[in-house]
A = this chain, B = another copy of it.
Amino acid sequence: MTDDAPDATEDRPPREEFHHDPVSHARVRAGMTVGELASEYSNAGIGASDLAEAIDIYAEMIGREDVTNFVGLAGAMVPAGMRKVVTESIRDGHVDALVTTGATLTHDTIEAIGGKHHHGREEGERSPRDHDERLRDEGVDRIYNVYLPQEHFTLLEDHVRSAVFPALESDSAVSIEELTAALGRANAEHNSEADLEEDVGIAAAAYENDVPIYAPAIGDSVLGLQAWMYAQIADFSLDALADMNSLTDLAFEAEKAGALVIGGGVPKNYTLQTMLVAPDAYDYAVQLTMDPEHTGGLSGATLDEARSWGKLEKAARNASVYADATITYPLLVAAARERIEE
């Protein structure tokens, strides 16, 4: 290298004014709590610091009395084993409104009446992927690495046609929120009567705690198919728009508003768009997503983008965590709970 060549190491005195916080490195040890791990994440960079920030925001959301919390829940989170994290959040008052999919309610109900999802990896078998044709022959539905025997859909059908839909027969259309409440009540009753040890689940916990569940795309699920089949033979119909009345009221009445968004799709957008017809916008927002931003779609969009639309306050705190939500969601909840109990 010649003397006059520019290089990576040209002399420049250390600056005094460089005032970014240093990365101080995570430390871990046996027996540390999840909250302590979260503190270590805050010392790190890349995604770990985003998760630490998300935990900090979420702890403030659930720790302050004056924040109304809207939770968007998409993806296969019940098959993925996240059901109790949601129900316990509902029971502890950390959810004021839940926006989710028909599929979440379908799988939640299957478990509420005694069904089970199963790990797709058999003992002694090395590959998690059985041929889907064989599963079809055996009557097993696959959701990535989770298996669900199809007979549970028959049991679901019996349940909703006997215990849910009849209670909603009416000359006028019912709101989706009314359907999800009726589902929650029926699930709780079934669970109680059958003396199941299992958690009553998301719909039932929400019903018991007066938390509304919105599922704007309810038709897009097995539960929705069942509702449609029932509508062919009874005075039963669902209003596609009515839920917005109570959801918007919640937004209007919120002193401060927070959004926890798990996954993308309709639950994310519906949670956020509510603020387009409300006087204010979200003051806090956390999203746990696996969609990268560069898809250009709403599911992977940053929460900063939502600022341009006025869905978040310009000064809102927000964090997006781009990692597997089955890992980050329980971790976030455990760490934030520890934080507010300190």
Contact = CB atoms under 8 A, between A and B. Distances in A.
B219 A1 contact: no
A298 interface: yes
A117 interface: yes
Interface stretch (A140-148, A184-192, A205-213): A140-148
A235 B241 CA distance: 13
A331 B6 CA distance: 37
A26 to B, nearest CB: 5
B117 A173 contact: no
Task: Quickly give the copy total for this chain.
Answer: 4
Given A22-B119, A26-B330, 17 more contacts: A5-B277, A6-B279, A13-B151, A14-B149, A30-B341, A34-B37, A37-B331, A48-B330, A142-B309, A216-B224, A219-B244, A219-B270, A238-B240, A264-B299, A265-B266, A266-B266, A293-B294
Interface string A122-162: 10001101011101100111111111011101101100000
Given A22-B118, A266-B266, A309-B141, A238 B237 contact: no
A266 B264 CA distance: 11
Interface in A218-275: 218-222, 224-229, 231-232, 237-244, 252, 263-266, 269-270, 273
A60 to B, nearest CB: 16
Nearest to A111: B25
Q: Which among A23, A48, A279 has the greatest number of chain B C-beta atoms within 10 A?
A: A23
A322 interface: yes
Given A20-B122, A146-B23, A290-B297, A37 B330 contact: yes
A103 to B, nearest CB: 7
B118 A18 contact: yes
A276 B33 CA distance: 41
Contact of A80 (B9, B46, B154): B46
A326 B48 contact: yes
Contact of A217 (B147, B217, B293): B217
Nearest to A310: B136
A28 B49 CA distance: 21
Interface in A173-190: 173, 176
Interface string A277-296: 11100000000001111111
A8 interface: yes
Contact of A224 (B40, B82, B241): B241
A303 to B, nearest CB: 9
A20 B88 CA distance: 26
Interface string A26-61: 111111111101001101111111110000000000
Contact of A330 (B28, B157, B243): B28
A32 to B, nearest CB: 6
